Structure 1
Amino acid sequence: MKAEERVVNGISQMINLAFSACETLKKAVEDRNKALLEDVFRFERDGDEIRRNITQEIYRGAFLPYLRPNIFRLIETVDEILNTAEESAMNFQKIRDMKFLEIDEIYSILEINVRICSILSKNFSAFLRDPERLREGVIVVRMMEKEADNIKFAILEKLKTFNVDFWDGYFIANFVNSLEKLSDVAEDAMDMLQIILLSL
């Protein structure tokens, strides 16, 4: 297998881990099962290991020099999806009062994150072969990210009516913000993938 193929396969594996992390985070919140969060942390660690390996492949000479900076950015952006999922999980883990989960929109934003990562995960190879399909995917993801952004503000408005202690309020706000950030970073990954294909 060529070095370039190993890098592409590694990025694909990282994207699959990002999808699994978002899916597991959603289930942990829906079931109020904090034990599942350990899987999110494991996915992030696995992603870090893959990132290190494929970064070394690029430093050894994979891809033409003019492509490398954007490929590095794509790798870092996918890694940031995993880091943000971990951040969401860590904030959720620290929340004691789960009354805020009565807000339905929280489940909506979790579902959007899963759907966006699913688009990336299931179509990554197809996107590399078909720029038009990628362009359509970028438009869909952009619309979903905008929806997630609007939902975040709706959640924060509803949270104002909840009476929680300082630390729960702090971690709940961080949790909600990190959920929206997940969709934002995933959109960035799609944009970076499009930039790479346009430069080929």
Structure 2
Amino acid sequence: KFMNSPESRRKQWYIFKEGLMTDKAMPNAAHIAIAELYQMGKLDCVITQNIDNLHQKAGLPDDRVFELHGNMQWAVCFECGRRYPFNEIKARLDGGEDIPDCPACHGMLKPAIVMFGEQLPYEVLEEAGRRARGSDLFIVIGSTLVVYPAAYMPQYALQSGAKLVIINIGETPLDRRASVLIEAKAGETMAAIIIKVKEKATL
């Protein structure tokens, strides 16, 4: 719908400006624990369907976060591919623009997220799959593993011989193949795991 007409884009930008695109959300205990694992050298990357930028806020570098559905803190130009912080675009919307264009080429801008009917970013999917296949331990945190292609990632890891840990409230299709299955809240569990990892590191 976004590309169909100027009116569609006008409505969508208004919705994004008024609430969907916010930088006020803060990382929770799980995000912080995941970032700590990376800083300790225990984590290679994160593959996520979330678009909220919270892994980066917690301390993970951009190049270690593979966002299958994009990132709502950016806008991207269809024509030249340039990316702009969403806050810059929001300032223009707040200033009276209703359909912002690319400052460089005046091409069509859109939020850097995968919208209904769009293909997921091929390069991100490919690299996420490569990382999954190269892992020795794959941890699923807070996912029911029913949304594809993200749900393929732990399967790729298993096929390559990795151990699978699932931390989730409720069943997933891969529960029987997990080496460790924890049915608990992600934040509490990851915080406890970090404590144990730190204790082991000091021995």
Q: TM-score w.r.t. structure 2 length?
A: 0.30
Q: Which has the higher strand share?
A: 2
Structure of higher CA gyration radius: 2
* TM-score, normalised via structure 1 length: 0.30
Higher RCO (C-alpha 8 Å, min separation 6): 1
